[in-house]
Amino acid sequence: MDRRQRKTREAIFKAFIFLLSKKNFNNITVGEIIEIADVGRATFYAHFETKDFLLKDLCGELFDHIFSPETGNSNGNIFHCEGQDSVFLHLFKHIKKNDNNIGKLLASKNNELFLEYFQRGIKGLVIKNLADFQHKKPELLPENFWINHISASFINTLKWWIEQELQQPPELITEYFLQSI
């Protein structure tokens, strides 16, 4: 990708993230974004069809490479971390360290926007690690209900942790998560 394009994209994302930390997604205007990003109006629309697509692209940028094991770039990909922590402990650690600003975004006013997207990735993770949970599953429950329940519980644990301002150590949160299911 052209360096100019990369710079523009970066600037827009940065401005957008800044605004998301200040106000509601609905109340953010393209005018504000381009003013802070310091790019032309036409440039914005050359990159993003609408504000909604900007959000979608940002989510992709933030989460997709985290969850896809095929990525060549090891930066931020949880599968390339050393140590033998569970993937879930890993995730909690990354969030606490605020890698890629994910922690901040997940704690912002607009966190539902990101949590929803985030949960999809988690679901994939749960499916990959399903064996670890299989012995806990009550027999009555359908498998897809169970998968849903685990990923939702992860997100819910995360939400609770964020409300507590990430005070607890990731290890304890992982314990809470595992105990709750």
Partner DNA sequence: TATTTATAGAACAAACTGTTCAATATCAAA
Partner DNA sequence: TTTGATATTGAACAGTTTGTTCTATAAATA
Q: Pick one of DNA, a second copy, none as the site partner of residue 42 (Cβ within 5 to 8 A by kind).
A: DNA
Q: Pick one of a second copy, DNA, none as the site partner of residue 53 (Cβ within 5 to 8 A by kind).
A: none
Q: Pick one of DNA, a second copy, none as the site partner of residue 104 (Cβ within 5 to 8 A by kind).
A: none
Q: Pick one of a second copy, DNA, none as the site partner of residue 101 (Cβ within 5 to 8 A by kind).
A: none
Q: What is the DSSP string of 65-120?
A: HHH-TT-S--TT-GGG-SS---HHHHHHHHHHHTGGGHHHHHHSTTHHHHHHHHHH
Per CB under 7 A, contacts with DNA among 47-106 are 47, 49-51
What is the separation of C-alpha 48 from the centre of its chain, rounded to a whole number of angstroms?
A: 20
Asked if 5 touches DNA (CB under 7 A), the answer is yes
Per CB under 8 A, contacts with a second copy among 135-164 are 138, 140-141, 144-146, 148-149, 152-153, 156-157, 159-160
Side-chain half-sphere exposure of 105, counting CA atoms within 13 A: 25
**Closest CB 82 distance from a second copy, rounded Å:** 28
CA dihedral sign, ordered 142, 146, 152, 157:
positive
Q: Output 22-27 pairs: Cβ under 8 A, ≥24 positions apart.
A: 23/109, 24/109, 24/110, 25/51, 25/55, 25/110, 25/113
In the complex with DNA, which residue's Cβ is closer, 41 or 109? 41
Q: Pick one of a second copy, DNA, none as the site partner of residue 86 (Cβ within 5 to 8 A by kind).
A: none
In the complex with a second copy, which residue's Cβ is closer, 8 or 151? 151
Query: Left, alpha or beta for 29 (phi > 0: left; psi -120 to 50: alpha)?
Result: beta
In the complex with DNA, which residue's Cβ is closer, 51 or 137? 51
Structure token pair of residue 65? 């490479």
Residue ranges binding a second copy (CB under 8 A): 26, 52, 112, 116, 138, 140-141, 144-146, 148-149, 152-153, 156-157, 159-160, 175-176, 179-180
